[in-house]
Structure 1
């Protein structure tokens, strides 16, 4: 009973805020998703990443081990995903990148924070950075046949990660007034990302729902098992272990739909994958958290 209550306390705020965004759009209120997303990804999330890394008490070597474990996990998920999609005759260009990369930002960071506290947040931003780098390179290449390597250097959250890692390595800290300002800006990130997730899901038009249901269940199980095995193999500490499994297992991100739309893949099928995997995660992620806690 206590475990169930703990899991509910962790997951309920996340999905309730997403539900706020979903309901906001459904009742006809305006939500300028492009502006909010740009504000979050250009200002709020980079501030969150930088301050989390700068103030972390975790060993930089441990964070580096976590980043390597995440990269290996994504590679393993990619190989298993490729084999499964090929076996069932599903289009690799449409489904492989969404199968590999989950919603480590909008959903993963809040869950890691509520489940594992500040230490979880610090590790979650490392996972977000790894996911972003791989998504902008391998992820786009899988969808479009070409990468966007130059775009990585222009992403504020990548710069914030590198700068935060430098401050952590050197033991530097910004002046108190600046740290407080950056932390205040970073506090916008989590509620904005969750509400925007709900808005984005509400606006999608799902396609091939039956296929999406099967893939969503398989993705959750495959990602959780692979991440669990790799976290064990790397002998990660308890918090890093939980964050890795949780982040790798997150549902398909809305950005997967945007990439499919931009590069001419089957965007309606990807939209179905996004919506269904997000809905399945409402039940799946709490069960996974119950195993991790």
Structure 2
């Protein structure tokens, strides 16, 4: 009973804020997705990443191990899922990127924070940064036929990660007035990302739902297995291990749908994956958390 209540305390805020976004749109209220997304990804998420890394008390060696484990996990998933998509004769441009990249931002960051505190958030932002680099290069190449390192360089979240890692490595701290301002700015990131996730799901037009459900089930088991293997291989500490499994196994990212729509892949099929994996996560994420806590 105590475990159930603990998991509920972690998952309930995520579900509640996502539901607020969903109901907000369904009841006819305006939500300017482009403005909120740009504000979040340009200002609040970078502030959250920088302050989380700067203030973390984690050993830099532990963060390095998590980084290597995340790289190994995403590399293994890419190879395995490439083979799965080819064996099932699925359209690679439509299915491969969504199956690889989970929603490590909107879902993973808040879950890591609620479940494991500031230490969990510190690990989570590193894994988020690894995913960001891989999705903005290889992921865009899959969908559009060409990725760009320049796109990664332009992302404020990447500069925040590098700067935060430098401050952590050197033991530097910003002046307290600046730290307080950046902390306040970063605090809006998680609630806005969760509300935006609910808005995005409410606006999706799903297709091929039967296929989306069994692909999501397959993906869920595979991502957990790969993350567990990578975590064991690199000898992660319990919190780092738990956050790696949690982040890698998050449901399909909404950005995968946006990329499919932008570059002419089957956006309805990707929307089906987003919705199916997100709904399944209502069951799988609490079970995963129960195993990890």
Per the shorter chain, which TM-score range? Answer: over 0.9
Q: 1:171 matched to which residue of 2?
A: 171
What secondary structure, in the 3-state scheme, does the structure 2 residue paired with 1:23 have? helix
Superposition deviation, residue 48 in structure 1 = 0.3
What secondary structure, in the 3-state scheme, does the structure 2 residue paired with 1:69 have? helix
Return the alpha-carbon distance in structure 2 between the equivalents of residues 34 and 222 of structure 1. 33
Q: 1:289 matched to which residue of 2?
A: 289
Q: Does residue 196 of the first structure (1) align with residue 214 of the second (2)?
A: no
Superposition deviation, residue 134 in structure 1 = 0.5
Return the alpha-carbon distance in structure 1 between the equivalents of residues 105 and 240 of structure 2. 16
Q: 2:215 matched to which residue of 1?
A: 215
Q: 2:249 matched to which residue of 1?
A: 249
Q: 1:52 matched to which residue of 2?
A: 52
1:14-29 pair list within 5 angstroms = 14-29=14-29
Moved over 3 A (4+): none
Which TM-score applies when normalising by structure 2? 0.99
Return the alpha-carbon distance in structure 2 between the equivalents of residues 234 and 122 of structure 1. 18
Superposition deviation, residue 87 in structure 1 = 1.7
Return the alpha-carbon distance in structure 1 between the equivalents of residues 241 and 27 of structure 2. 40
Return the alpha-carbon distance in structure 1 between the equivalents of residues 190 and 30 of structure 2. 20
What secondary structure, in the 3-state scheme, does the structure 2 residue paired with 1:17 have? helix
Return the alpha-carbon distance in structure 2 between the equivalents of residues 79 and 2 of structure 1. 39
Q: 1:124 matched to which residue of 2?
A: 124
1:65-144 pair list within 5 angstroms = 65-144=65-144
Return the alpha-carbon distance in structure 1 between the equivalents of residues 218 and 75 of structure 2. 17
Return the alpha-carbon distance in structure 2 between the equivalents of residues 47 and 84 of structure 1. 38
Return the alpha-carbon distance in structure 2 between the equivalents of residues 280 and 15 of structure 1. 13
Aligned residues: 293
Per-residue Cα deviation, 1:237-292 (whole angstroms, up to 9, x for no partner): 01100000000000111100111111111111001111111111111111111111
Q: CA RMSD in A?
A: 0.7
Superposition deviation, residue 144 in structure 1 = 1.4
Return the alpha-carbon distance in structure 1 between the equivalents of residues 86 and 16 of structure 2. 37
Superposition deviation, residue 210 in structure 1 = 0.6
Superposition deviation, residue 64 in structure 1 = 1.2
Superposition deviation, residue 145 in structure 1 = 1.6
Which TM-score applies when normalising by structure 1? 0.99
Return the alpha-carbon distance in structure 1 between the equivalents of residues 273 and 286 of structure 2. 20
Return the alpha-carbon distance in structure 1 between the equivalents of residues 85 and 5 of structure 2. 37
